Amino acid sequence: MILGERLMGVNEEYMDVTPRAVFVYTSRFEYEQAKKLADQIVRQRKQWPFMTWRTNIPQQPGFEDFIDALDSGYFPPPDRCEVIDPDQPMNTQIRAMIMMAGGGGSIR
């Protein structure tokens, strides 16, 4: 979440954009889906090995860049995922926002 606020005496909005982890639980990957994802990872590694987690350079992606660029068909749909925020494990508002956006719900 990005929180914006104005600081006293400053004409710019200050934003807290500190990245942090959340846990996403999915239904199990079926064999074909897992093989499709693994084949893409192997194909990319043959072209350029992953040297870091993130580079933000499209020509030399890190592993996270690579995963972010994949089509959503490589992963379970949002309605088959559960997101847990470790900073706010009892916050049901986050769960409601996810479900209203087309994701969330119980793992089946």
* 91 pLDDT more than 60: yes
Residue 4: pLDDT band with limits 50, 70, 90: very low
Between these two residues, 20 and 103, which has the higher pLDDT value? Answer: 20
| CB burial of residue 23 (10 Å; 0-12, 13-18, 19+) | exposed
- The pLDDT score that the predictor gives to residue 17 is 59
pLDDT tens per residue, range 37-65: 999 999 998 988 888 888 888 788 889 88
Inside any domain, residue 95: yes
Kindly give the residue spans of alpha helices, DSSP state H, lying in 1-108: 31-47, 63-69, 92-100
Inside any domain, residue 16: no
Quote the domain boundaries for residue 91: 21-100
Kindly calculate the radius of gyration of the chain based on its CA atoms and give it in whole angstroms. Answer: 18
Q: What's the total number of domains in the chain?
A: 1
State what percent of residues in the chain have pLDDT above 70. Answer: 65
